[in-house]
Amino acid sequence: MVGLLFPGQGSQFVGMGRDLFDGHDLARAAFEEADDALGFALSRLCFDGPESELIRTDNAQPAILTHSAAVLRCLQHALGEDIVMAAGHSLGEFTAWMAAGSLTFADAVRLVRRRGRLMLESGRVRPGTMAAVLGLEDHAIIAVCEKASGDDGVCVPANFNSPGQTVISGDVAAVERALTLAKEAGARRAVRLNVSGAFHSPLMQAAGSGLAEALSAIDFRTPAFAVVSNVTAEPVTDVAAARALLRRQLTAPVRWADCVRTMAAHGVREFLEIGPGSVLAGLMKRIDREAGVRAIGSAAEIQTFATA
């Protein structure tokens, strides 16, 4: 049984999708539809940059979703009806709901563009930061964040990516304290990330009402297969629950390792990462060494998979 994985922000790069656009009519149509839906040439930004604009969260999110959609369209015939479940990392969860048929592509790309703008504005209203911590167990990370939080700021776990790899998020002062505490607790590495806000933390609270409004304004249909929620790490098919969990995801940690384990527990043994990069495939090797995983994001990788 096949499970789909969709990457989140950070997987974008200048030149993403150009080979798909040039080599596949279905992929070209996806980029053109995104341009029409957003009212500007997202495709040109993906292909030519500049990087400073592409990495901005309100541009990166629709760019990554569009790339994933383009790849998925090219694979539909090869995949057939083998897909039983999907999950996506943060932004990628919206792509997963699109892949499951709950969101149209046009609605999905506009929705994540709106989500990116809301997150960007929240980061300006209450500036924060994020940091990667390697080499500490989840319970140790939680303890570090609790100890680092104080009157001048909060620090929380943001992404439980794989055993020993976590991202923390919050106010700058609290995150800086957490980095020191993490090193004292034995972390192999603890370093700040170059981000525009404290994603998946209480600092994103201001974006919640706007995202809820955007979610309620679009048609959200029953999915063809379950999508595993970042918030609960459980399969979801109920539309009302999906909307509520996608809003909560803004301020809740991404329980990625648990999401993958849930898919494996439901019988998924072949995982396909659909979209730019191979970050999730790399994490899989630390989460479940027995599972088969393949990243598919380029025209060459599509051809290899379709041939096989």
Q: How confident is the model at residue 77 (pLDDT cuts 50, 70, 90)?
A: confident
> Residue 113: its pLDDT value, please?
98
> Residue 65: its pLDDT value, please?
98
Structure tokens that stand for 184 in this block: 């004292």
Q: Where do the domains of the chain lie, and which CATH numbers do they carry? A: 2-124+203-307 (3.40.366.10), 128-196 (3.30.70.250)
Q: How confident is the model at residue 78 (pLDDT cuts 50, 70, 90)?
A: confident
Whole-model pTM?
0.96
Q: pLDDT tens digits for 163-204?
A: 999 999 999 999 999 999 999 999 999 999 988 899 999 999
Q: How confident is the model at residue 80 (pLDDT cuts 50, 70, 90)?
A: confident
- The pLDDT of residue 81 is above 80: no
Q: pLDDT tens digits for 46-71?
A: 999 999 999 999 999 999 999 999 99
Coil, strand, or helix at residue 72?
helix
Compute the distance between CA of residue 227 and CA of residue 241 in angstroms, rounded to an integer: 11
Long-range contacts of 296-303 (CB under 8 A, 24+ apart): 296/71, 296/75, 296/272, 297/67, 297/71, 297/273, 298/19, 298/20, 299/19, 299/20, 299/22, 299/23, 299/24, 299/27, 300/19, 302/20, 302/24, 302/71, 302/74, 302/75
Active site residues: 90, 200
- Phi and psi at residue 233, in whole multiples of 5°? 60, 30
Mean pLDDT of the chain: 96
Give the mean model confidence (pLDDT) for residues 195-219: 95
User: Do strands 189-192 and 270-274 pair parallel, antiparallel, or not at all (unpaired)?
Assistant: unpaired
Q: pLDDT tens digits for 242-294?
A: 999 999 999 999 999 999 999 999 999 999 999 999 999 999 989 998 899 99
Compute the distance between CA of residue 94 and CA of residue 8 in angstroms, rounded to an integer: 10
Q: pLDDT tens digits for 135-170?
A: 999 999 999 999 999 999 999 999 999 999 999 999
Structure tokens that stand for 230 in this block: 């970042």
> Residue 101: its pLDDT value, please?
97
